[in-house]
Amino acid sequence: MATLYTHKDQNIAKTWVLMGVFLAVVVAIGWAVSWYFNDPAILVFAVLFAVIINVGSYWYSDKLVIAMSGARVAQDAQYPELHNIVENLAITAGLPKPKIFIIDEAAPNAFATGRNAEHAVVAVTTGLLSMLDRSELEGVIAHELSHIGNRDMLVSTVAVVLVGFVTLISDFFLRASLFGGNRDNRGNPIIAVLAVALIVLAPIVAMLLQLAISRKREFLADASGALLTRYPEGLASALRKIGSYSQPMRRANNATAHLYISNPFGPRAAASAISKLFLTHPPMQERIQALLGK
């Protein structure tokens, strides 16, 4: 019978497999572009540019996300119970207490960000605080602390760097081709067609892999959070309530959507396996069933 422990182990393994496939896509597109143009300098420039931009975003991720979400500092005197829950769970998880922020939004939601445990941030909406009871709120906070403990920010950043790299190389290739780039050394026309197809399709594949990694990290944080509280029913009940709220957040943003515990644009139907590929979060019912072992 599947347990939270097996779900956690499975999700860790699946995440690393996805990252491995991601790296394979990067290597493949790198080979295709360098072979097509016979110019390795293109790859050097693209890698340096993508890494500098994305690592800079990672380093200042907490400040950027807080500004984009419109969050404010949660004062101890105004939110004593929230501070108490965060502090107790952080001690249990062996983590420093993160900074706590409040987002003035009716939609129930929460996120964690920051480049490491020492610079982590947890933010919750006012709607979440008003909708959940203590055990449910503990489940949500444990989920967010699990993102910090599992170093999901690092995994997400690696994924963003790789997506940025793939997209940049593909865009450069298409622009260079339009202006008649170096085609003297393309060699076998069949390989040339395959290389072009790979370069054109690679950004789509990279985006799908990034979304898949995001979904797996949500499953992993659910399992880790439930293990932290030893009460999976609390988080399952919280997810059920969060999933029942249909309105999007006022400041929902595609750049930060994957950080939240629930899609900030509101629940989206995933009637088919194809539609699920384009979701930043797993369907809420699947998350609840995994927590309750159904």
pLDDT for residue 137 = 98
Tell me the average pLDDT of the chain: 81
**Cβ–Cβ contacts within 10 Å for residue 130, how many?**
9
Per-residue pLDDT averaged across 146-161, rounded? 78
Among the listed residues 105, 144, 233, 286, the single catalytic one is 144
Domain that holds residue 154: 4-292
144 belongs to the catalytic site? yes
pLDDT in tens, 30-80: 777 777 777 777 667 766 766 676 677 678 878 888 998 999 999 999 999
pLDDT in tens, 70-129: 999 999 999 999 999 999 999 999 999 999 999 999 999 999 998 888 999 999 999 999
pLDDT in tens, 214-257: 888 899 999 999 999 999 999 999 999 999 998 999 988 877 88
pLDDT for residue 271 = 46
3-class SS of residue 73 = strand
**Over 60: is that where the pLDDT of 181 sits?**
no
Count: domains in the chain: 1
pLDDT for residue 1 = 47
| Strands 110-113 vs 72-73: parallel, antiparallel or unpaired | unpaired
pLDDT for residue 7 = 54
**Over 80: is that where the pLDDT of 5 sits?**
no
* Cα 31 to Cα 40: distance, rounded to the nearest angstrom: 9
pLDDT range class, residue 14, cuts 50, 70, 90:
low
**Over 70: is that where the pLDDT of 280 sits?**
yes
* Cα 156 to Cα 144: distance, rounded to the nearest angstrom: 14
